[in-house]
Amino acid sequence: MKFASVIVSVSSKEVNRIFEYKIPDPLIGIIKIGHRVLVPFGPRNIQGYVVNIKDSVDFDASKIRPINRALDIEPVLTRELIMLAKHLADYYIDPYISVIETILPAALKSQSEKVLTLHSDASKEAADFFKASHSGGKVLTKKLDAEALKGIKPFIDSGDIIEETELKQHTNKKYARALKPTFQPGRDFGRAVKQLELLDYLENHEYIELSRLHEDGYSSHTINELVKKGYAEKIDVVIERDPYENRVFFEDKPKILNQDQDYAFGRIQDAMDRSDPKTFLLHGITGSGKTEVYLQAIKAVLDKGQEAIMLVPEIALTPQMVNRFKSRFGDEVAVLHSGLSHGEKYDEWRKIKEGRARVSVGARSSIFAPFENVGIIIVDEEHETTYKQTDRPMYHAVEVAKYRSSFHKCPLILGTATPSLETYARSDKSVYERLELNMRAASNTLPDTRIVDMAKEHRTGNTSVISSALKEAIQDRIDRGEQTVLLLNRRGYANFQICQSCGDVPNCPNCDISLTYHKSNHTLLCHYCGYEEEVKRECAACGSDDVTFRGTGTEKIEEILRDMFQVDVVRMDNDTTRRKGMHEKLLNRFEKEEVPILLGTQMIAKGLDYPKVTLVGVLNADTMLNLPDFRANEKTFQLLTQVAGRAGRHELSGEVIFQTYNSEHYAITLSESNDYQAFYEKEMEFRRFARYSPFYFHVLFTVSSEDVRKCLEAAAHVHEKLTAAVSDTAIIVGPSPSPIERINNQHRFQILLKYKREPDLSAVLHELDEFYYERYKKEGLSLRIDVDPQYIM
């Protein structure tokens, strides 16, 4: 007798544990660890995942219910991913099943519906009633009206009609009709030349899709005649949704590495040869050829018969990275990111699972690619906060990469021009090995950078958001047929609307934040909860019509640029890239040199590589400096350095202009000189003094409720529990109102825990999470526990 340990698909704390089920004799040897199964759970049947198989259990085996059926031929989870899910659930304080369902593509998450079926021994009366109850297809309980339910209930009670739970996937495999040769002897076609030609065509293939045959000029009549004569048959075949089927990728040969690149590649290859799970920091200035090192390291891995995982931080980076990787490795590459449809992502995931792709390229979630023999993991732009998921489970992809690197005994490469302070500090302590790339791959120099003080600019009479120096530089590039990238990290048209009579500013009714004006649809929009209202020309507070808009967003700058230079502009922000495929479409327009100016938010600041871009302008370098967060200086330095690196990456020299009201701030002046080491030393002084990461670990607790009194009471309770549980070396900051006190009608208070070593902390966090899970169900009061937060907001 065999038993399966199953975690069921119910995201509830009460069932966040393993349940034992008996494996029926016919399924012994078929059901394996990682299989999806249908199991009885209380009065219903639900989906679960097998996490272990055993020969015995510690209690009465006769009381254990059997698994109903397996939902897959092959397991969807590897043993490693099951272990990883448990590790993440424990570390990030989340239900085991939530992590499992994050690891798997959305297409495999099931929905259920109640279906009525007729028992084989049902009475004639029941059969007649059942037949009258439906007009073909399934009989769904939810579609029966009250009268029908009343009439059918006695037959359900008697067992003549059975109610079952049927699971369905969000996305299934996609099928198409195809023609398959039957290879029978004899070829008597008489004058039917087209049929004979089709048969010759078919015999060189296992099958050909009917749609392709029609495109090639074969009519339905010719196809049907061939089938009628027995020379071919029509079949259903699985086809894959390929998001790149219309793209042509030209072969890209490996480049000759320069001295720094060659040394870095040699150190990485040595770790691969020794199966050493070493973490490398590949610290290279922008344009130093980090991607070529990645590509050649992956080629070495593939030559050994292993697989590679490559992470990029933004969907916007994926098109160019995909182009590089597909051009080098062809169909070996699978692409996984949130810009794909469920079906496309599912098919890319299947390519990996079935061994037809050995390289995964994608954003955060692609770290869960179901490879079983990983030879290298690469995280490009490792400093990016997008690697940390902001919704539960709040995992960090870099931490997941470390776990998988250790499991597979393969090197992990963290590549960036601006490492996070935590990463660079670990390389300083030799926890990671640091590899430096100090020269640009094409041997050209970094762009010339200068700072424009906008306070002085305004004193000279220029009140425009475009300084005289930047205006002149943009015009110069337009005249020379070169391109410009402009960064403004604020979308919308204007920051807010204000009444000039009484000073009233329209705020979101659900959040403590002003509404942002979007001119394209003439609305005021909340960027936190999505609340939207039409713009009114009269002040709601005093009735005055003297209302105006203040501040500047990308939408307004686009309008200013078009008027100022009489040229087209590509704008990239959340508003213009919301629709599927728009990232790639907009970048393609710019890449083809159709448009001289690319304007965008931080999504354009990294990874983009265009030969005609010789000017980069940052319209407001202070934006992130003003955030109430200890990482504000670091994020400012990283953003400015990264966007500056887009200029002059090829034969043409580059220029960068930072516009700022804080021209003396070290985050900006050290970005100008591209001096990471000086910034690191300066910022580490602040972190040491203020006792922040990397000198301390952090956990951020956010209590939220519609009732502010309950919020305060809960925050005090969390503080009390922490004070009793942690050592005197830990620091508890708060409780205090969150920087934005109310979002979506939820009042928010936060507590920040700073600590160096607290071995019993995990148990306390799980206890708090469980306690507030119950309170959330009863009172709508929630506690969010963010381990290793990226923002203290």
Q: Does residue 214 lie within any of the structural domains?
A: no
The reply to whether 487 and 504 lie within a common domain is: no
Cα angle vertex 592, ends 242, 617, to 5°?
A: 110
Tokens 């640009």 identify what position? 440
What confidence category does residue 238 fall into, taking pLDDT thresholds of 50, 70 and 90?
Answer: low
Name residue 580's amino acid: K
pLDDT reported for residue 421: 95
Q: Which of 277-281, 332-336, 569-573, 648-652 has the highest average model confidence (pLDDT)?
A: 277-281
What does the pLDDT read at residue 121? 76
Highest mean pLDDT among 140-154, 162-176, 408-422, 462-476: 408-422
**The token pair that represents 516 in the structure block:** 């942002």
| Same domain as 632, residue 484 | yes
Residue with tokens 């029609």: 214
User: Among 687, 716, 745, where does a domain finish?
Assistant: 687
Whether residues 477 and 502 fall in one domain: no
> Is 410 flagged in the annotation as binding?
no
In-domain check, residue 79: yes
Integer Cα distance of 415 and 102 in angstroms? 25
Residues 121 and 81 placed together within one structural domain of the fold:
no
Same domain, 503 and 419: no
| Co-location of 285 and 378 in the same domain | yes
Strands 110-118 and 161-169, bridge-based pairing: antiparallel
Taken as a whole, the chain contains a residue count of 793
* 170 vs 85, higher pLDDT: 85
Most confident segment among 509-518, 568-577, 749-758 = 749-758
User: Mind listing the pLDDT tens digit for each residue in 578-601?
Assistant: 777 777 788 878 877 778 999 988
- 556: helix, coil or strand? helix
Confidence of residue 429 (pLDDT cuts 50, 70, 90): very high
CA distances from 30 to 18, 66, 79, 355 (A): 20, 14, 16, 20
Q: For residue 172, what pLDDT band results from cuts at 50, 70 and 90? A: low
* Mean predicted confidence (pLDDT) in 724-752: 90
- Domain of residue 48, CATH code: 3.40.1440.60
d(CA 339, CA 632): 28
Tens-place pLDDT, residues 454-488: 888 888 888 888 999 999 999 999 999 999 999 98
Quick count: other Cβ atoms within 10 Å of Cβ 435? 23
The pLDDT of residue 373: 94
Mean pLDDT score, 510-539: 84
Which of 21-25, 143-147, 208-212 tops mean pLDDT? 21-25
Q: Beta 597-600 vs 569-572: how paired, if at all?
A: parallel
Co-location of 472 and 601 in the same domain? yes
CB half-sphere exposure, 467, CA atoms < 13 A: 23
pLDDT tens per residue across span 667-695: 999 999 989 999 999 999 999 999 999 99
Does residue 779 sit within a domain? yes
Q: Reply yes or no on whether the pLDDT at 276 is more than 90.
A: yes
Q: How confident is the model at residue 107 (pLDDT cuts 50, 70, 90)?
A: low
Own/partner long-range contacts of 740-743 (Cβ < 8 Å, ≥24 apart): 740/511, 740/512, 740/513, 740/528, 740/793, 741/512, 742/510, 742/511, 742/512, 743/510, 743/511, 743/512, 743/513, 743/528, 743/529, 743/704
By percentage, how much of the chain surpasses pLDDT 90? 34
CA separation for the pair 478, 484 (Å, rounded): 8
Find out whether 711 is annotated in a ligand binding site: no
Average pLDDT of the chain, as a whole number: 84
**Pair of tokens at residue 772:** 């507030």
pLDDT confidence tier of residue 166, bands split at 50, 70 and 90:
low
Residue 167's pLDDT band (boundaries 50, 70, 90)?
Answer: very low
Give the alpha-carbon dihedral of 768, 771, 776, 782, to 10 degrees: -10
pLDDT at residue number 112: 47
pLDDT for the residue 201: 80
Of the given ranges (71-80, 141-150, 511-520), which has the lowest mean pLDDT?
A: 141-150
Q: Which residues pair with 209 in a beta bridge?
A: 178
Q: pLDDT tens digit string along 182-224?
A: 866 666 666 777 887 888 788 777 778 887 788 778 888 888 8
360-380: average pLDDT: 92
CB 324 within 8 A of CB 289: no
Clarify whether residues 360 and 402 are in a common domain.
yes
Mean per-residue pLDDT, 6-29: 85
Q: Do residue 433 and residue 578 come from a single domain?
A: no
Task: Tally Cβ neighbours within 10 Å of residue 359.
Answer: 27
Q: How far apart are CA 390 and CA 590, in angstroms?
A: 31
- Looking at the structure of the chain, the number of domains it has is 6
Per-residue pLDDT at 135: 52
Q: State residue 655 phi and psi, 5-degree precision.
A: -140, 145
**Position 208 in a domain:** no
Q: How far apart, in whole angstroms, are the C-alpha atoms of residue 720 and residue 732?
A: 10
Query: 436 or 574: which carries more pLDDT confidence?
Result: 436
Q: Report the pLDDT averaged over residues 604-621.
A: 83
**Residue with tokens 């804080």, as numbered in its chain:** 662
Tokens of 147: 């009268």
Joined tokens for residue 312: 């990029």
3-state secondary structure string, 605-620? CCCCCCCCEEEEEECC
Q: Which domain holds residue 396?
A: 259-437
Top pLDDT among 574 and 757 is at 757
Strands lying side by side in the sheet with 448-453 = 448-453, 655-660, 613-618, 483-487, 597-600, 569-572
- CATH number at 281 reads 3.40.50.300
Q: What is the mean pLDDT of residues 413-426?
A: 95
Tell whether 702 and 756 lie within a shared domain.
yes
Bigger pLDDT: 217 or 764? 764
Average pLDDT rounded to a whole number, residues 41-59: 88
Is 644's pLDDT higher than 90? no
CA distance 206 to 215: 18
Q: Is position 664 within any domain?
A: yes
Torsional sign, CA 18, 24, 29, 34: negative
Q: Is-cis flag, bond preceding 393, omega within 30?
A: yes
Any domain includes 517: yes
Sign for the pseudo-dihedral over CA of 710, 713, 719, 720? negative
| Domain boundary, last residue among 169, 185, 207 | 169
Between CA 581 and CA 588, with CA 587 as vertex, the angle to 5 degrees is 85
Distance CA 358, CA 550 (A): 51
Is 389 within the bounds of a domain? yes
Query: What's the pLDDT at 241?
Result: 55
DSSP-derived letter for residue 604 is G
Q: Give the residue, 507 or 116, on which the prediction is more confident.
A: 507
In this structure, are 37 and 136 located in the same domain? Answer: no
Does residue 433 carry a pLDDT above 90? yes
Q: Which residue has the higher pLDDT, 651 or 545?
A: 545
The residue-averaged pLDDT of 280-297 equals 90
Is residue 486, in this structure, part of any structural domain at all? Answer: yes
Residue 251 confidence (pLDDT): 63
Which pLDDT does position 725 carry in this prediction? Answer: 92
Burial label for 132, CB within 10 Å (0-12, 13-18, 19+), is exposed
Domain ends where: 550, 568, 593?
A: 550
For residues 288 and 419, state if they share a domain.
yes
Distance CA 745, CA 706 (A): 6
| pLDDT top residue among 119 and 380 | 380
